[in-house]
Chains A and B, each alone.
Chain A
Amino acid sequence: MRRQKLISDLLVNGALLLLCILWTVPTFGLLVSSFRPRDEVSSSGWWTVVQDPAELTFSNYRQVLLGKDVTFVNAEGEEIEASGDNLSRAFLNSLTVTVPATVIPILIAAFAAYGFAWMKFPGRRPLFITVVALLVVPLQIALIPILRDYTRLDLNGTFLAIWLAHTGFGLPLATYLLYNYISGLPRDILESAFIDGASPFTIFIRLILPLSVPALASFAIFQFLWVWNDLLVALVFIGSKPEVAVMTQQLQEMVGSRGQDWHLLTAGAFITMILPLVVFFSLQRFFVRGLLAGSVKG
């Protein structure tokens, strides 16, 4: 009996280990390669690093981040000059796009959720049903009409344009989730605040927002990841303006122009992944809670 338990334990953990290795190796290979010098990356597999852990270097990161030209000597002893990619600028751009594109929809959705949950006004139900129904609309539908509006308003390539686009595409889910949460808050707390003479606006700021922090946080993480990792919306509304290009665009461009330069591609890819991974590991608890609440974009 004890022996059987041991065997089944071994089987379970062995299978789990195998799956974990399978799932981790791709990312691990990328990480290792990003620290290997150019010539080594292109001439031997990253796993050979175990036999020959000679030189790991930061020069790939320096080249992708600073965008400065880097000179180095290749195997034949010739000096080669290579131009870098300015990923640090793209990093700042991504941040400038992502922070407001996360906060704005949450703020607007929270106001709307409170209005739908706790206020009486004509047309409330049909309006709310419309909001939820919009969950089905794939954002592809909206690209051309919005692009035309933006061209008319001369908004293409501005931060405002892309914030509003992400806000529009994130709002149905944000409103729906926050409504579920806010409408479930205990009625007596709100009623006693009303009796004390507080205005709905004050109640919202002082009471509803603080009480909704868990729901706000878990949605914020998701919206953050979507916006940070988004390529399509950026391609369409930022287009080919290098001054405002975000990380995913820049990396996608590098794949096109430097498809063979694995030392740079791996470093670049890892830089785009750092912030999401930090968010992921530090806020995993909220992340999981958000998933369980259905934070999956329609």
Chain B
Amino acid sequence: MERDDTQRTSLVDQLYYTTGRVLVSLLVPVITFLVMWRGFIFLRDGDAPQFVTAAVAIIWGVGGVAILFLLSNWLVEQMPQAWTDTLRPFVFVGPATAILSWYLLIPTIRTLYLSFLSAQSENFVGLQNYIFAFTNPDMLNSFRNNLLWLVIGTGLSVGFGLLVAVLADRSKFETVAKSLIFLPYAISFVGAGVIWRFIYFYKPPGRPQIGLLNAIITAFGVEPQAWLTIQPWNNLLLIAIMVWLQTGYAMVLLSAALKGVPDELLEAGRIDGANEVQVFFRIIIPYIQGTIVTVSTTIIIFSLKIFDIVFVMTNGNFGTEVIASRFYKQMFKFQHFGRGGAIAIILLVAVIPVMWYNLRQFGEQEAF
């Protein structure tokens, strides 16, 4: 329609119109950019009261992204129809693709490259960083610990999750109980760290113990212990925190799966003479197997990347290092980017098969 209108106007008018259109198309982005830039400078260098800065930042950040989408779409729609049709999909998927390339895709390649270079990335050292990662005693220790996290942490989280789900299913207090078990899931690792440091807190014998665990054992006449320094058992005390945080997650998924087991199936089993234990292991478990796998793989990935709990509780001392905390130390404490990069790549390689399995399993279930 627009094109018909312009054809009817004179050549001068058309020229005028086109120039105007091009000018506006240039001016609008420039003005938007200037406004956004002013906002950025204000946020970075301004010394307004914090409330003002916070409010401006939130509006600037959220509004800025919305405006960028509006603007790019408007620009594309100003173009000739054929261009619009070609370019429009990239208005939609372009920003996501660009950010993902910048933040995940290219960094993976760059980190892989770093892992073959020396500490300060000056010269090529071949596989030396990987050899270090697989021979250094601290690293081997962290692999062993991560294996503990993976096996015991995942096992207990899924086990307790299943136990609570089954018990709650038969109780009148289902909702309350599930809420209470699920609650720690919302707590940060740092917060959980404070909570559990307090529980494991140690005071020399003879003084009143304010840490719950030592108070309990001294009540039975046992000497108080500095729990977090007892190797290798301190790892289990850290894993307990993960179990405390993750059981709720396992419970929610397993509970939903339990509710999906058809009653007729259970009844049929009972009529055939199976007792409750047999019904559980022969009917319920096989029926919810898919969910158990999804839950387990998800928690396995979580346990492979565990960092914050160790960082807050012991900072990796007393033989509690894990892969991610070794990575952090190499990168940011020793500034050895080669070794840090190699550890990060090892982490990636460890996650890939589990995630692949998880996605495949998840794809078979229905989302939402």
Tell me if B277 counts as interface (CB < 8 A to partner A): no
Question: What residues of chain A lie closer than 8 Å to B131, measured between beta carbons?
Answer: none
Contact between A159 and B57, CB atoms less than 8 A apart: yes
Q: Tell me what chain B mostly uses at the interface: helix, strand, loop, or mixed.
A: helix
Question: What residues of chain B lie closer than 8 Å to A279, measured between beta carbons?
Answer: 186
Tell me if B311 counts as interface (CB < 8 A to partner A): yes
Contact between B50 and A177, CB atoms less than 8 A apart: no
| Total number of residue pairs linking A and B with CB closer than 8 Å | 322
Contact for A276 among B172, B187, B199, B332, CB less than 8 A: B187
Tell me if B31 counts as interface (CB < 8 A to partner A): no
Question: What residues of chain B lie closer than 8 Å to A19, measured between beta carbons?
Answer: 160, 163-164, 167, 177, 181
Question: What residues of chain B lie closer than 8 Å to A146, measured between beta carbons?
Answer: 102-103, 107
Question: What residues of chain A lie closer than 8 Å to B352, measured between beta carbons?
Answer: 136
Question: What residues of chain A lie closer than 8 Å to B139, measured between beta carbons?
Answer: none
Residues 228-262 of A, flagged 1 when their CB comes within 8 A of B and 0 if not, give 11111000100000000000100110010001001
Contact between B298 and A296, CB atoms less than 8 A apart: yes
Shortest C-beta distance, A212 to chain B (Å), equals 10
Shortest C-beta distance, A297 to chain B (Å), equals 9
Which residues in window 300-326 of B have CB below 8 A to A? Answer: 301-302, 305, 307-308, 311-312, 324
Question: What residues of chain A lie closer than 8 Å to B189, measured between beta carbons?
Answer: 229, 231
Which residues in window 90-131 of A have CB below 8 A to B? Answer: 92-93, 95-96, 99-100, 103-104, 107-109, 111-112, 114-116, 119-121, 124, 127, 130-131
Contact for A26 among B108, B244, B252, CB less than 8 A: B244
What separation, in Å, do the CA atoms of A10 and B176 have in the docked complex? 17
The residue among B40, B102, B163, B167 with the most chain A CB atoms within 10 A of its own CB is B167
- Once A144-B114, A160-B40, A272-B188 are accepted as A-B contacts, the answer to whether A23 and B93 lie under 8 Å apart by CB is no
Contact for A127 among B95, B97, B215, B345, CB less than 8 A: B97
Total contacting residues, chain A, CB less than 8 A: 115
Contact for A92 among B51, B62, B172, B332, CB less than 8 A: B51
Contact between A13 and B173, CB atoms less than 8 A apart: yes
Question: What residues of chain B lie closer than 8 Å to A160, measured between beta carbons?
Answer: 40, 43, 61
Question: What residues of chain A lie closer than 8 Å to B3, measured between beta carbons?
Answer: none
Tell me if A193 counts as interface (CB < 8 A to partner B): no
Question: What residues of chain A lie closer than 8 Å to B57, measured between beta carbons?
Answer: 96, 100, 159
Tell me if A195 counts as interface (CB < 8 A to partner B): no
> Which of A42-50, A54-62, A73-81 sits within the interface?
A42-50
Tell me if B134 counts as interface (CB < 8 A to partner A): no
The residue among B198, B341, B351 with the most chain A CB atoms within 10 A of its own CB is B198
Question: What residues of chain A lie closer than 8 Å to B179, measured between beta carbons?
Answer: 281, 284
Contact between B65 and A107, CB atoms less than 8 A apart: yes
Tell me if B44 counts as interface (CB < 8 A to partner A): yes
Contact between A291 and B249, CB atoms less than 8 A apart: yes
Contact between A44 and B210, CB atoms less than 8 A apart: yes
Contact between B97 and A16, CB atoms less than 8 A apart: no
Tell me if B77 counts as interface (CB < 8 A to partner A): yes
Question: What residues of chain B lie closer than 8 Å to A127, measured between beta carbons?
Answer: 93, 97
Contact between B209 and A291, CB atoms less than 8 A apart: no
Contact between A138 and B183, CB atoms less than 8 A apart: no
Contact between B191 and A251, CB atoms less than 8 A apart: yes
- Once A30-B195, A160-B40, A248-B188 are accepted as A-B contacts, the answer to whether A140 and B327 lie under 8 Å apart by CB is yes
What separation, in Å, do the CA atoms of A289 and B95 have in the docked complex? 28
What separation, in Å, do the CA atoms of A121 and B312 have in the docked complex? 48
Residues 134-170 of A, flagged 1 when their CB comes within 8 A of B and 0 if not, give 1111101111111001000000001110011101110
Shortest C-beta distance, A87 to chain B (Å), equals 12
Tell me if B212 counts as interface (CB < 8 A to partner A): yes
Question: What residues of chain A lie closer than 8 Å to B249, measured between beta carbons?
Answer: 291, 296
Contact between B92 and A119, CB atoms less than 8 A apart: yes
Can you list 9 A-B contacts with CB-CB less than 8 angstroms, sorted by A residue number? A45-B208, A45-B211, A45-B212, A138-B305, A141-B107, A171-B100, A232-B308, A272-B191, A284-B179
**A residues in contact (CB < 8 Å) with B:** 9, 12-13, 15-16, 19-20, 23-27, 29-30, 33, 41-47, 89, 92-93, 95-96, 99-100, 103-104, 107-109, 111-112, 114-116, 119-121, 124, 127, 130-132, 134-138, 140-146, 149, 158-160, 163-165, 167-169, 171-172, 175, 177, 180-181, 184, 199-201, 204, 214-215, 225, 228-232, 236, 248, 251-252, 255, 259, 262, 265-266, 268-269, 272-273, 276-277, 279-281, 284, 288-289, 291-294, 296, 298
